Amino acid sequence: MCKLAAEFPSRVVPALGLHPWYLQNCSKDWRKNLQELLEQNPKALIGECGLDRLKDVPPNLQKEIFAEHIYLAKEYKRPMLVHAVKAQNWLEGFWTSLKEVRFVLHSFSGSVELLERALSFGAYISFCPQTRARKNFKELAQAVPLQKLLLESDGPYQGNPADISALAKDVAECKNMELKELAAEVYKNSREFIDVR
Ligand SMILES: [Zn+2]
């Protein structure tokens, strides 16, 4: 990913971190390695990192490594991509430290209640093509303030870049606004989000 970013600096921004699905075999030097990579890639974001209760990865290990990522995001002043699945209760222990970094709950898959809680700590909220299949999609789309909304493919897991235009169209419809206006706002938010301070 860093190679691609070096080759296409205006199109690719890398994100570096340990995904909660793959923690058990991580090197014991992971923190030092990640710090080195962050130093070599001053525009890189941190992530995906986070919490996933559907995966058989020890909760304490997930929480410990997530906390380290938040710490690094603070230290290096990098935005953070957070993966959170069925983790509403676990997140409770992290909101106050998350509040100090710029973060997004990516491929949001929770309740409106979680969405509002996350927003109150400054979260950006990102929808992916699969979000449209959720029962509460319309409520979620209406509950996100325009200036906190991001859209993603989450490819190759949950869609591909070509699906984003249909997603944007549906979100615009739920919000009762013009697609063009929504697209411009999401683009602006995306630029702001990845802009390393
Ligand atoms: Zn994810």
pTM for the whole structure: 0.95
In which residue ranges of the chain is pLDDT below 70? 197
Q: Facing residues of 45 across strands?
A: 15
**Cα(129) to centroid of ligand 1, in Å?**
13
Distance CA 168, CA 165 (A): 5
Distance CA 133, CA 81 (A): 22
**Cα(19) to centroid of ligand 1, in Å?**
8
Report pLDDT for 159.
86
Report pLDDT for 2.
86
**Cα(50) to centroid of ligand 1, in Å?**
8
> Cβ-count burial of 178 within 10 angstroms (0-12 exposed, 13-18 middle, 19+ buried)?
exposed
ω into residue 145 within 30 of 0, thus cis? no
Report pLDDT for 197.
61
**Cα(158) to centroid of ligand 1, in Å?**
9
**Cα(49) to centroid of ligand 1, in Å?**
8
